[in-house]
């Protein structure tokens, strides 16, 4: 799914080769200051004065897409060092992305570089043969400005090529740096290079082959360019007005550090160019404004542009207001007044959507249609004006692509600013903005973070699934976003997969049962609720088979299973992987996203086919057979994985049935290539028209033409107590009690409790990946309640002591609670074998051993998938699968202290060893640690009577089934009683003979066969 990629960007830098090193004075910095310039200011001498250390301390550190991609660094003595006695050296071999940073200390003020012209440093060239300029390896160099610190700042980038041998001086004026468009740590701040708040620098090194580098003597040089200290800005770039209205363009002067202007600033303005006719569509305007020397930063003047009304139906027309600036930097682009489109049938909300689509489509050019089929990552925009220049149909925020501050109000403002740009297009077709809100509005600090899907599946409650979807939709739409890349309908068949937690479970029947989340998010199946301010368009993903990829089949980087090959029979494809999508289409999902993975059907002899190229599945099964009427959106840069060159990727994917392509950065090439393919006849105009019609249909249904901007009515509900109460209930229902000897749980408020383990008091760990950032992170990353804090709230008068590593004394406690598990990850980075396994950490194992040896203990496993605990199970009194509960640790405390009973059931089989994987309900050989569907309860009054009671329940189940109530709550309750009887009989002695029918019973119940479920449970009872 959508996520940030740290890529490279090419731009021009000034590179100066120096004279012989022997002419340098010993210990001198790269060059002496000219007579009229200030002395150079050292940044890094690389003599060891700056330690190798990570944030928040001052230091130089490396980073990369995985451990192997992080460069190796050392400061070494060199006889040829241009400055001092040492230089920094590094080696690298990068497959994904990687580089080096120096962050200044977070607890000290940012550095002020406003007095200097630029930055320069010595670079040791690695080329042994003469090369023409620009032909060597390209190195990206970045500086960091603004924000709270070096990891929450803006990146400004330039690049140079390593074309020489030996030491050379690289000189880069600050005017050469451009705002990095493909990635910003906090989503960008103001896109103004604030040299008064500098937090450090970074190198992004080349990929694809091993390399080495050396640097020395980095310093600031020269005298600042006055144009960098003041600039003229307008309050907007686009000013839409109805025909006959007047636009008011606010022109302001801004200075670095908000100081008064050094000199007078003059702005000459005139209306010229554009598509509107001067004197006919608007009154021409010409004039000048002056800001005298000493003018306060932020001072402004207003220019009025009046339009004329002629009454005829027209598309939108533009009136550029050209600004010529003296004494400051001019605005990056010319502001435009836009006379709104009016009188055309597609703008008439009273007409049926189908007629509106047909009218608009008939007016559009091929370029406009290609733009509608394009989705770009917002940080990839070379300028925001490209939204109109390329007629882009959609933007997205990849994981962690957020505004500053990362708050709900800022999200709404950000999305509105992008929507404003779309108003400068001929037909003012609004953007459809998308985001991965996969367990709540999880990119936004302060939002309600739900349990991941695996926990929702454990809850087995379609109503709570629907309610979590409704809360998520309300929070997402409140921030101006009408489209959510959720839910994931994958059926996880191998828990070594790093995306296991994105699945509701291993059983397609369970996944299908939880698809009520679609209606919670979208409302009515016919789409009539989509224009509400609390509903969003959904995206059923990933079509089809992403949860069935074989271990070792992936060819993506170091991934072992994610994005690999799903090899199945047609029968298994239909029953396991396609079934959830058939249900999603019935529920009216608005979009479908194909999988990165490939599909290989046994017996077809066609080999693996990338799903983004699979016309049989997308056109044939999804659109034709299932009758899907929404549009198909690609995954992040996924068409690039199709074999062949880029034009082949484009035509293959579009002809296979993709309607919109998440490019996500290369929107210029994609739109050009698609137009070329249509012109050449390799993609038909009919296929393009079908795609655009599908996209426009959803935009009209969402009401975006009438209300493109955020309706912030519900903004105060983001992260509200009411929403968190829904999440808290979902958390409580997700908790699966696997073992409970001696009734250790629920805890009593009178008990003295010893709490330990890595995940007891870590909000980031309990939320998991896809939380605030793509991969997630440990610590207090957002607003919420940890499990430990929840316990203290649940029993405020109890003694509850915490020792993370269980190093504190254990005497005198009644019971221990050890909360262990995983740290966050997402996608292939979480694959087992890619730096991950299913074992608890050594520290967590030690904490379990220490606490459980000293007292009765309950162990909670906070993870996205089962963890191997079999070797310690005998010493554990109570074991709970807590999954990834999100921000509401109160929900865990609710079941620990008995406010709510444990009712959750395993959504996946809990293996006894990794060697058993893959292991799933229905397998011929099935002997797990705990079977699918297992879940003890702390409800009182477990039914007695043994087999006679089970037989009586069978009769009742048959009646329910015969009367069409096989999937009713009554049927679930009846089979639940039978399950509790069986679990009580089996106890901790779970044999293969009992596990297999037990697991199959839950599958039968979910498919509407409660009588068959009870029959299976009787078999498990007899084997127990």
User: 158 pairs with which residues across the strands?
Assistant: 141
Could you tell me if 961 and 1022 are in contact, meaning their C-beta atoms sit under 8 angstroms apart?
no
User: Does 635 participate in catalysis according to the annotation?
Assistant: yes
Maximum pairwise Cα distance, the chain = 102
Between CA 607 and CA 616, with CA 611 as vertex, the angle to 5 degrees is 75
Measured distance CA(395)–CA(397) in Å, rounded: 7
Helices marked H in 480-589: 508-513, 516-522, 570-572, 579-586
Could you tell me if 1011 and 970 are in contact, meaning their C-beta atoms sit under 8 angstroms apart?
no
For the record, the structure tokens of 250 come out as 């606010």
Crossing angle, helix 408-422 and helix 462-478, to 10 degrees? 60
User: 291 pairs with which residues across the strands?
Assistant: 265
For the CA atoms of 652, 658, 662, 667, the dihedral, rounded to the nearest 10 degrees, stands at 60
User: For the chain, how far is it from start to end, CA to CA, in angstroms?
Assistant: 43
Taking Cα atoms as reference points, which of 904, 62, 824 lies closest to residue 449?
824
From 154, 635, 822, 1002, active-site residue: 635
Give 859-918 as a 3 state SS string. Answer: EEEECCCCCECHHHHHHCCEEEECCCCCCECHHHHHHHCCCCCCCCCCCCCECCCHHHCC
Instruction: Give the H or E element holding residue 1012.
Output: helix 1010-1023
Place of tokens 């393919």: 677
For the record, the structure tokens of 122 come out as 């010595």
Measured distance CA(711)–CA(477) in Å, rounded: 8
Could you tell me if 433 and 483 are in contact, meaning their C-beta atoms sit under 8 angstroms apart?
yes
Instruction: Give the H or E element holding residue 502.
Output: none
Taking Cα atoms as reference points, which of 408, 394, 459, 464 lies closest to residue 437?
408
Measured distance CA(915)–CA(922) in Å, rounded: 18
For the record, the structure tokens of 555 come out as 């060819």
Measured distance CA(38)–CA(219) in Å, rounded: 12
Taking Cα atoms as reference points, which of 847, 849, 1020, 859 lies closest to residue 946?
1020
Query: Hey, CA dihedral for 122, 124, 130, 132, is it positive or negative?
Result: negative
For the record, the structure tokens of 514 come out as 């939880």
User: Does 416 participate in catalysis according to the annotation?
Assistant: no
Q: Chain-centre distance of CA 354, in angstroms?
A: 33
Contacts with 732 (C-beta within 8 Å, 6 or more apart), sequence order: 891, 892, 894, 895, 899, 900
Does the N-terminal peptide bond of residue 411 adopt cis geometry, omega within 30 degrees of 0?
no
3-state secondary structure at position 687: helix
From 827, 831, 894, 1002, active-site residue: 827
Positions annotated as catalytic residues are 635, 827
């Amino acid at each position: 799914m959508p996520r940030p990629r740290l890529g490279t960007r090419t731009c021009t830098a000034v590179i100066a080769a120096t004279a012989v090193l022997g002419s340098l004075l010993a210990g001198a910095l790269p060059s002496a200051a000219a007579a009229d310039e200030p002395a150079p200011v050292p940044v890094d001498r690389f003599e060891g004065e700056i330690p190798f250390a990570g944030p928040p301390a001052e230091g130089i550190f490396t980073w990369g897409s995985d451990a192997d991609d992080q460069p190796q660094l050392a400061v070494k003595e060199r006889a040829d060092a241009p400055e001092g006695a040492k230089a920094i050296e590094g080696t690298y071999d990068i497959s994904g992305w990687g580089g080096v940073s120096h962050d200044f200390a977070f607890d000290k003020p940012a550095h002020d570089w406003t007095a200097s012209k630029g930055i320069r440093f010595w670079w040791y060239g690695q080329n042994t043969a003469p090369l023409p300029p620009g032909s060597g390896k390209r190195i990206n160099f970045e500086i960091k400005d603004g924000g709270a610190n070096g990891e929450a700042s803006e990146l400004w980038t330039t690049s140079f090529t390593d074309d020489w041998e030996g030491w050379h001086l690289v000189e880069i004026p600050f005017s050469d740096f451009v705002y990095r468009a493909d990635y910003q740590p906090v989503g960008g701040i103001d896109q103004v290079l604030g040299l008064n708040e500098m937090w450090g620098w970074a190198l992004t090194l080349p990929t694809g082959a091993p390399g080495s580098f050396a640097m020395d003597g980095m310093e600031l040089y020269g005298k600042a360019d006055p144009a960098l200290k003041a600039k003229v800005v307008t309050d907007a770039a686009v000013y839409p007005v109805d025909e006959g209205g007047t636009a008011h363009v606010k022109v302001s002067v801004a200075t670095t550090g908000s100081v008064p202007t050094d000199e007078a600033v003059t702005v000459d303005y005139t209306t010229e160019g554009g598509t509107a006719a001067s004197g006919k569509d608007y009154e021409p305007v010409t004039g000048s404004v002056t800001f005298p020397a000493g003018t306060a930063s932020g001072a402004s003047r207003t220019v009025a542009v009046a339009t004329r009304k002629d009454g005829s139906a027209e598309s939108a027309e533009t009136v550029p207001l050209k600004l010529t600036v003296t004494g400051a930097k001019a605005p990056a682009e010319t502001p435009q007044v836009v006379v709104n489109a009016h009188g055309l049938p597609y703008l008439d909300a009273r007409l049926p959507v189908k007629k509106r689509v047909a009218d608009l489509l008939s007016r559009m050019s091929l370029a406009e249609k290609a733009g509608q089929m394009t989705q770009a990552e917002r940080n990839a925009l070379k300028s925001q004006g490209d939204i109109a220049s390329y007629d882009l149909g959609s933007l997205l925020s990849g994981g962690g692509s957020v505004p500053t501050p990362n708050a709900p109000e800022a999200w709404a403002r950000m999305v509105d600013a992008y929507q404003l740009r779309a108003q400068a297009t001929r037909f003012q077709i609004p953007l459809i903005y998308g985001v991965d809100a996969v367990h709540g509005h999880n990119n936004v600090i302060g939002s309600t973070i739900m349990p991941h899907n695996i926990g929702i599946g454990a809850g087995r409650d379609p109503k709570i699934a629907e309610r979590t979807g409704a809360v998520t939709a309300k929070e997402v739409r409140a921030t101006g976003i009408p489209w959510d890349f959720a839910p994931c309908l994958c059926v996880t068949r191998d828990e070594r997969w790093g995306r296991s937690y994105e699945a509701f479970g291993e059983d397609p029947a369970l996944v299908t049962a939880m698809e009520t989340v679609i209606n919670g998010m979208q409302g009515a199946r016919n789409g009539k609720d989509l224009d509400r301010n609390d509903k969003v368009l959904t995206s059923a993903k990933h079509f089809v088979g992403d949860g069935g990829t074989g271990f070792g089949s992936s060819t993506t980087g170091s991934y072992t299973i994610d994005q690999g090959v799903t090899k199945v029979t047609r029968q298994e494809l239909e029953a396991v992987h396609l079934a959830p999508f058939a249900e999603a289409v019935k529920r009216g999902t608005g979009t479908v996203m194909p999988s990165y993975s490939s599909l290989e059907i046994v017996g077809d002899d066609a080999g693996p086919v990338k799903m983004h190229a699979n016309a049989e599945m997308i056109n044939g099964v999804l659109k034709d057979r299932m009758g899907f009427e929404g549009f198909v959106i690609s995954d992040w840069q996924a068409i690039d994985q199709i074999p062949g060159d880029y034009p082949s990727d484009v035509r293959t994917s579009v002809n296979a049935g993709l309607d919109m392509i998440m490019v996500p950065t290369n929107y210029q090439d994609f739109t050009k290539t698609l137009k070329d393919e249509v012109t050449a006849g390799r993609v038909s105009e009919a296929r393009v028209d079908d795609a655009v019609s599908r996209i426009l249909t959803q935009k009209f249904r969402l009401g975006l033409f009438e209300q493109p901007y955020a309706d912030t009515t519900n903004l105060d509900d983001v992260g509200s107590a009411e929403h968190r109460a829904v999440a808290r209930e979902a958390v409580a229902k997700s908790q699966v009690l696997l073992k409970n000897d001696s009734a250790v749980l629920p805890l009593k408020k009178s008990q003295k409790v010893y709490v330990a383990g890595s995940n007891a008091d870590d909000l980031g760990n309990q939320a998991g990946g896809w939380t605030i950032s793509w991969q997630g992170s440990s610590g207090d990353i957002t607003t919420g309640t940890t499990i430990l804090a929840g316990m203290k709230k649940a029993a405020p008068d109890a003694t509850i002591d915490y020792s993370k590593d269980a190093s504190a004394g254990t005497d005198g406690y009644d019971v221990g609670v050890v909360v262990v598990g995983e740290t966050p990850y997402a996608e292939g980075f979480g694959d087992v074998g890619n730096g991950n396994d299913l074992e608890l950490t050594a520290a967590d194992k030690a904490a379990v051993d220490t606490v459980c040896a000293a007292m009765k203990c309950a162990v909670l496993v906070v993870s996205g998938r089962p963890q191997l605990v079999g070797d310690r199970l005998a010493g554990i009194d109570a074991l709970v699968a807590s999954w990834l509960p999100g921000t509401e640790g109160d929900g865990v405390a609710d079941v620990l202290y008995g406010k709510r009973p444990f009712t959750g059931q395993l959504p996946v089989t809990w293996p006894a060893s990794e060697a058993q994987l893959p292991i799933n309900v229905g397998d011929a050989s099935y002997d797990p640690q705990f079977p699918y569907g297992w879940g003890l309860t702390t409800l009182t009054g477990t039914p007695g009577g043994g087999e006679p009671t089970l037989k009586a329940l069978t009769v009742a189940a048959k009646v329910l089934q015969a009367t069409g109530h096989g999937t009713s709550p009554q049927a679930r309750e009846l089979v639940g009683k039978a399950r509790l009887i069986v679990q009580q009989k089996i106890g901790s002695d779970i044999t293969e003979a009992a596990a297999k029918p037990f697991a199959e019973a839950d599958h039968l119940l979910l498919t509407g066969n409660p009588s068959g479920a009870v029959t299976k449970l009787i078999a498990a009872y007899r084997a127990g």
